[in-house]
Amino acid sequence: MNYFRYQEYLEVYGLGRKLFAGYVLVSLGMLLAAAGGSWDITNHLLNKPETFFAPPHAVLYSGAASAVVGTVLVFFASKSGGRSAGRMIWPVKLVIAGVVMLISAAPVDFGWHSAFGLDGLFSPPHFVLVSGMVVGSAGALAGLAQSTKRLPSVLIVIAILPIWLGASGMIDMLSLPFSETEYFNFNPHPTLGVVVATLAFPFLISACLIGSSALAGKRFGVLSMAGAAFIIIGILTSIIPNSALTPTIPFYLSSIIPIVAADALLAFSRSRFSLYAAGTIVSLAFFMLYYPLITYTYNEVFESKVVWPSMIAQIYFEMIQNVFPLVAFPTAAMGILGALLIDRLARNKKYYNNIQQLS
């Protein structure tokens, strides 16, 4: 290798390391922000006293700080890379756009509170914040995928989770009845909320879990790790804070069973049918994975009871036997659709990489 080629190698290698570190920090930050937001929703439902320095807020702000630091690294690495970073430009733009949305939501939210008092789950500032999480996390995942041919399993999980949690928050806004305030009523129509939850959650679960498997080259364990991490976050942010729900933790943990089954199908079978089966299996777990909040969505149509925090489990288990048979078919269909979308994207990426190598 001559001197000039060696210098170019060092430049690109250094650029890659900085970008890689920046993308990891953005993913970690968005993950913390999403988990803090989920915890904050639970505290609001429990009417716990809230201050600026409440623990969920501290987690959210720490995540935002990490995302900002990561974005600064990504920005300066891409600027200094010149043509070497050309193929990495669009993930950088997504990261910057997402973090700008995340940070700008704070003063907008302060102004909203100043003008209208307490807000609901769905409000313009919250919509901007959650949109920023999804956009920034998607950019970080794309950047990490471009940075190396094979991502470590842990990084795949860290990169997938904030997209999954952020998009879940967006669906919650459009399905949960938590958005009526003194000035505005942004609550969705109950039937529309049920339709959104029934179609969007299964699609999202399938896309994220099967996407994690695709990023790992379908090696066994990564899909299960992503599902287990989502379950743990759900326990920590939505179940443990409500002491009335702690006896239901074993039930919630059992939702890992279909996830591991889908993981094994994709890892040990090369049949096209395994893709459809895996998409179906993980999507049918949606009614368990989104416990306990999903109780509020379906209660609006099927039970119409007052859902006190201490009564969530009772209402949920009374409702599931009536609701699940009705939603099973559309749920499975959306799971297969999510799996097919990810499979198509993975095939396109492989084809693009082959063209790049030939050229």
What is the phi/psi pair of residue 175, to 5°?
-135, -25
Question: Is the pLDDT score of 99 beyond 70?
Answer: yes
The confidence score (pLDDT) of residue 331 equals 96
Last residue of a domain, one of 188, 213, 246: 188
State the first-to-last Cα distance of the chain, in angstroms, to the nearest integer.
Answer: 21
Q: Are residues 132 and 33 located together in one domain of the fold?
A: yes
Using the Cα atoms of residue 91, residue 24, residue 233 and residue 41 in order, give the sign of their dihedral.
negative
The confidence score (pLDDT) of residue 215 equals 92
Q: Are residues 211 and 161 located together in one domain of the fold?
A: no
Q: Are residues 10 and 38 located together in one domain of the fold?
A: yes
Q: Are residues 267 and 156 located together in one domain of the fold?
A: no
Q: Are residues 3 and 107 located together in one domain of the fold?
A: yes
Query: Does 19 or 134 have the greater pLDDT score?
Result: 134
Task: Report the predicted TM-score, pTM, of the whole model to 2 decimal places.
Answer: 0.89
Last residue of a domain, one of 154, 188, 222: 188
Contact 32, 68 (CB under 8 A): no
Last residue of a domain, one of 168, 188, 208: 188
Q: Are residues 133 and 77 located together in one domain of the fold?
A: yes
Question: Is the pLDDT score of 3 beyond 50?
Answer: no
Mean pLDDT of the chain: 86
Q: Are residues 27 and 164 located together in one domain of the fold?
A: yes
Name the residue among 303, 318, 292, 248 with its Cα closest to residue 41.
Answer: 292
Q: What is the pLDDT of residues 219-261, one digit of tens each?
A: 999 999 999 999 999 999 999 999 999 999 999 999 999 999 9
The confidence score (pLDDT) of residue 312 equals 93
Question: Is the pLDDT score of 266 beyond 60?
Answer: yes
Structural domain containing residue 142: 1-43+51-188
Q: Are residues 145 and 207 located together in one domain of the fold?
A: no
> Sorting pLDDT into bands at 50, 70 and 90, what band is 10?
very low
Average the pLDDT over 181-205 and give the result.
94
Q: Are residues 95 and 175 located together in one domain of the fold?
A: yes
Q: Are residues 121 and 250 located together in one domain of the fold?
A: no
Q: Are residues 238 and 276 located together in one domain of the fold?
A: yes
Q: Lowest-pLDDT range, 51-65, 150-164, 167-181, 267-281?
A: 51-65
Of all residues in the chain, the percent with pLDDT exceeding 90 is 60
Of all residues in the chain, the percent with pLDDT exceeding 70 is 88
Average the pLDDT over 321-342 and give the result.
94
Count how many domains the chain has.
Answer: 2
CA distances to 283, 291, 296, 319, 329 from 304, in Å = 26, 18, 9, 11, 24
Q: What is the pLDDT of residues 38-91, one digit of tens each?
A: 888 888 787 765 655 678 878 888 999 999 999 999 888 877 655 444 455 888
- Look up residue 2 and give its two tokens: 């001559």
Q: Are residues 174 and 250 located together in one domain of the fold?
A: no
